[in-house]
């Protein structure tokens, strides 16, 4: 009983403090990093709309594996299983979750109109802990990154620092 309560407390505190969680939905080969908020005993995520994070494998009534990293060291802290619950737009639960998510959303293109766009085009999903924490795995867990349109920045041209310093000296 005590170990269950300690596990629940660890899941809640670690997930609250972490900016990202790694989630592997049903049938997905690898976990994805998702931003979230902890609200009323569950991690709430938003996505699957234009300009929002993808939520593959997170289907209503399904399960997911959530891994939380340590905020200070960045290493795996705890992994737990979750039940996936999709919130209906306009419901009291949806309104409460969106109010929390709205405050944490960075660089939103539409500001105050964001909740309306989310209601029309996105999904709000609650990842409710089932109470089971997973054992920490052993060995190397390196996996290929999931495909993304993002690119890596090119190296700075060798002559650029000299050009920048020259302009400063002339002023």
Q: For the domain that residue 82 is a member of, what is the CATH number? A: 2.30.110.10
pTM of the model: 0.78
Residue 74 maps to a domain = yes
Tens-place pLDDT, residues 95-133: 999 999 998 888 888 888 999 999 999 999 999 999 878
Residue 153 maps to a domain = no
At residue 60, the pLDDT reads 94
d(CA 41, CA 83): 12
At residue 171, the pLDDT reads 54
Helix (H, G, I), strand (E, B) or coil at 125: strand
| Structural domains counted in the chain | 1
Residue 169 maps to a domain = no
For 138, the enclosing helix (H) or strand (E) is none
- Residue 63 domain boundaries: 2-136
Residue 13 maps to a domain = yes
Residue 86 maps to a domain = yes
- Number of Cβ within 10 Å of residue 64's Cβ equals 26
Residue 145 maps to a domain = no
Residue 43 maps to a domain = yes
d(CA 153, CA 151): 6
At residue 143, the pLDDT reads 72
- Number of Cβ within 10 Å of residue 66's Cβ equals 22
């Amino acid at each position: 009983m005590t170990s269950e309560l300690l596990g629940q407390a660890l899941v809640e505190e670690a997930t609250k403090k972490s900016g990202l969680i790694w989630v592997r939905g049903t049938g997905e080969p690898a976990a994805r990093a998702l931003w979230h908020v902890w609200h009323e005993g569950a991690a709430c995520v938003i996505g699957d709309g234009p300009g929002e994070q993808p939520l593959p494998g997170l289907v209503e009534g399904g399960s997911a594996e959530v891994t939380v990293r340590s905020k200070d060291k960045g290493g795996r802290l705890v992994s737990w299983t979750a039940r996936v619950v999709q919130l209906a737009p306009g419901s009291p639960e949806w309104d409460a979750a969106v109010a929390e998510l709205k405050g944490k959303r960075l660089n939103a293109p539409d500001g105050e109109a964001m909740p309306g766009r989310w209601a029309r085009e996105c999904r709000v999903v609650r990842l409710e802990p089932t109470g089971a924490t997973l054992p920490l795995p052993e060995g190397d867990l390196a996996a290929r990154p999931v495909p993304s349109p993002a690119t890596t920045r090119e190296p700075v041209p060798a002559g650029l620092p000299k050009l920048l310093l020259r302009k400063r000296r002339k002023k």
